[in-house]
Amino acid sequence: ADGAFAGLFEAPLGARTYALAYAVSDAYLSSDNEGGRPLDIVCTLRVGQGVYPARARVLAWARAYAERRNLTGYFGEVTTSTRTALSPQYLKLMRAARVVVTCNPGDWEGDFRTWEALASGAAVVRDRLYAPTPHGDFGVV
């Protein structure tokens, strides 16, 4: 799947559909914001050598938006760390941003990046969350 919007669900989600909740631990939260927020926009999406075309489109859009408006920022993968380890470099970069741009992977709904962005204290711009709709949208946009 390339992450292109294919429309909302035709019927309510079935009884065997379970929403997968993502969150962050206290380790992601910090009141330490030494140096303020010098970067206008940060978008750390991994595009996975074409594996995540939806994320590649969002990354390209964020980069082009910043260039056209002469905004400071960081665009692209920071480290190769995974969810099994906290990356101090990644967390510091997120906390240096005024705005963090992120999106879901093209193949599933929800991700840790949204919650990491929210934990950074920056304003977060992301794609719409379509599940668990049509029962209600709880996404932060």
SS3 of 97, please? Answer: strand
Cα dihedral 22, 114, 95, 42, rounded to 10, equals 160
Q: What is the pLDDT of residues 24-68, one digit of tens each?
A: 777 778 766 677 899 999 999 988 777 788 889 999 999 999 999
**pTM of this structure:** 0.77
Q: Please check whether residue 103 is in contact with residue 4, taking contact to mean a CB–CB distance below 8 angstroms.
A: no
Pick the range with the lowest mean pLDDT from 46-50, 71-75, 101-105: 46-50
